[in-house]
Amino acid sequence: GGVRKGNTPEGVKTLAEIKAPLSKDVVKDMNVNSLNVVADNLFLALGERRFNAPGTVDKGIKAVNEFLGTFGIDSAGARIFDGSGVKEGNRVTAGIIAQYLYEVSKREWFEDFKNSLPRTGEGTLKEIKFVDSRFRIKTGSLENAYAIAGYGVDVRGKKIAFSYIVNVPGAGFMGLQEAGAEVMRYL
């Protein structure tokens, strides 16, 4: 028969069970390995959770903008079209990202969030020729943009949040990982 919703009949036996991973583990895998499909699906799920089924892009955008508002971040400085940031219409300033990272550092769930970000030399960051375990960062690149943002420790030992974005034709193909490494060395 078809799939239907209802109560489990009495006397049935479980043949197999698959436990879902913890949300924080899904987010870490997404961030470390740059799983854009997972980011887009979480974005849709967020819209559904906040504004009821079905999850849609419009609901995801609204949910993210409201969430940014809880930090006092004006979402007018950000244009969001998907959960992964891959669509060309997405726009956000380095200042908004840095402000978000700083505000997140005050939340009770900060350690889980920070730990979801890759360390240098881990996942997609293997290409960056800078390794310092005090940094947790996320990179992103498109054909015409390259970004690196996260947390680190400056030369004085002070904890910092930072964001660096390059918007130039061909940025995604210019080997800007080295520039990202230089930014972290400078910090």
The per-residue pLDDT for range 17-68, each reduced to its tens digit, is 999 999 999 999 999 999 999 999 999 999 999 999 999 999 999 999 999 9
**Average pLDDT of the chain, as a whole number:** 91
Among candidate residues 49, 48, 78, the one with its CA nearest the CA of residue 65: 78
pLDDT of residue 141: 87
**Weakest-pLDDT range from 24-38, 57-71, 87-101, 173-187:** 173-187
pLDDT for 172 beyond 80 = no
Q: Phi and psi of 78, rounded to 5°? A: -135, 135
Start-end of H helices in the chain:
23-33, 36-51, 57-69, 94-104, 110-116, 177-186
Residue type, 51: F
Among candidate residues 41, 44, 39, the one with its CA nearest the CA of residue 27: 39
Q: Phi and psi of 89, rounded to 5°? A: -75, -15
pLDDT of residue 5: 86
Cβ neighbors of 17 (< 8 A, separation 6 or more) are none
pLDDT of residue 187: 83
Provide the β-strand partners of residue 136.
119, 151
Q: Express as a percent the part of the chain with pLDDT over 70.
A: 100
pLDDT of residue 101: 97
pLDDT for 75 beyond 80 = no
